[in-house]
Amino acid sequence: MAFLDPSLPRAAALGRGLGLALGGALLITLGAKVQIPFWPVPMTLHSLAVFFVAATLGPRLGLAAMAAYLGAGALGLPVFSGTPERGIGLAYMVGPTGGYLAGYLVAAGLSGGLAQGRGMIGRFLAMAAGLAVVYAAGLAWLALYVPAPKLLAAGFTPFILGDLVKLALASGLAGGLARLTGRVQ
């Protein structure tokens, strides 16, 4: 696990890992709540936070952070974008965005694993692989709610440009954090 010191006693390492995962879940929540005016639709920093957390914490803790975020949402905490206005808990999670949320869970582990030891371009490509999973799961689930001819216009086209920009930012931020902490990538 990235950022875990193997010289720490097992209990301390577990506590540190739990703290990092919960901190990652908090960062993902904050990212989901921040809205930035963008064209053609406003964007949140949710995907930036998910991929940044995955790249910096690694596959296990990145996955744990995303699982903690989803768990908090399932329990009814208003962690998702548009909550509580658009619903909370499991009702929100099985709505139109449910596939994207599930995709982020898989993408956190995948991108976290692929990004380890990579430079900025490698991290970006690792995150792009994760983003492909997010869109595949999201669009498959969204197809239950949106007719096929309108699927890409509803769940892909308005978001892809902003997501690619956020991946570039997340990759750069992860590299900057690695340099600050003395971890060479």
pLDDT tens per residue across span 128-179: 999 999 999 999 999 999 999 999 999 999 999 999 999 999 999 999 998 8
Predicted TM-score (pTM) of this structure: 0.91
pLDDT digits (tens, 9 = 90+) for 49-107: 999 999 999 999 999 999 999 999 999 999 999 889 888 999 999 999 999 999 999 99
User: What tens digit of pLDDT does each residue of 5-42 get?
Assistant: 666 688 888 899 999 999 999 999 999 999 988 776 77
Q: What is the pLDDT of residue 103?
A: 98
83 or 123: which leads in pLDDT: 123
> Domain coordinates of the chain in residue numbers?
10-180
Local confidence band at 2 (pLDDT 50, 70, 90 cut-offs): very low
- The CATH code belonging to domain 10-180 is 1.10.1760.20
- Backbone angles phi and psi of 90, in degrees to 5: -65, -30
pLDDT score, position 168: 98
- Token readout for 141 is 């689930």
**CA 177/CA 78 separation, integer angstroms:** 29
Owner of token pair 């960062």? 27
